[in-house]
Amino acid sequence: MILKIKIIIAFVFVTSICLAQENHNGKYISSEIFFNSPYYFTEYKNQFNYGIGITISENIQSVKISTGIFYNTKRYFSSYENTSSIDKVTYCIEYYNIPVLIGVNLLRHENIKNQLLVSTGIIFNIPRNYSSHTYYKNNNPPTTNDTPSDYKAGSSFRLGLEFHKRLNSIFNIYTCAFADYKFQLDRLDFNNSSPQWHPSYSEDRILIGLNVGLGWRYKKE
């Protein structure tokens, strides 16, 4: 899986360099550092989720090719209102994600102060650090459920809408609303685990979220 990621990233950047050599006008390298807040569509209740990331991009006129890395949490819980002993079970997974994205600016090239891009591509989802706790109604201390014996990575298709507001010749404010569809499910493998404490990941297909951050250019247009 890691080898596949490296090959795709290398291909994207080699392609971008070749394109840039053909057309030097409007070429520059940029980065964004951002915070994100994802929401997962599952049968379970979301808790507050957050993340942080950084991307680096090759910009050639109206086309933007990006990669980087970002972290986000997946925290959710199940409530047990019809039982006399269990109050709820909480779950938390951390993801380290590698995006490979391409975006197209929808605004005219003369509008140098703003950019509005439609972006799409693949996100490689790498789960880590799973934890689960059971809370009881009789005030007994919570118990920690078993941890995975292995983690399997997944992949998502992303569709996003980015907006950049230029502050000066270097910095801009960046925001991106996005939706991810997980076409290759990540998986956690447990030894001797009861399915009650580890929900099916087959329902975890759709994720929406918002990135907000600061962007900058390494080279002027």
What are the structure tokens assigned to 157, written together? 């298709």
SS3 85: coil
- What mean pLDDT do residues 191-205 have? 60
* Nearest-angstrom CA–CA distance, 128 and 36: 18
Name which of 6-10, 30-34, 130-134, 202-206 the model is least confident about: 6-10
CA distance linking residue 171 with residue 9, whole number of Å: 25
Residue 188, pLDDT > 50, answer: yes
79 neighbors 90 (Cβ within 8 angstroms): no
Q: What is the CATH number of domain 2-217?
A: 2.40.160.20
Res 213: pLDDT: 97
Q: Is residue 104 predicted with pLDDT exceeding 70?
A: yes
Q: What is residue 20's predicted lDDT score, i.e. its pLDDT?
A: 43
Give CA–CA dist 218/221, Å, rounded: 10
Q: What's the pLDDT at 191?
A: 76
**Cα separation values, 213 from 29, 54, 172, Å:** 17, 9, 9
Could you read off the pLDDT of 119-167 as tens digits, one per residue? 999 999 999 999 989 899 888 888 888 888 889 999 999 999 999 999 9
Q: Which residue has the higher pLDDT, 162 or 185?
A: 162
**Total residues found in the chain within this entry:** 221
Q: Where are the domains positioned within the chain?
A: 2-217
Instruction: For residue 171, give the amino acid letter.
Output: F
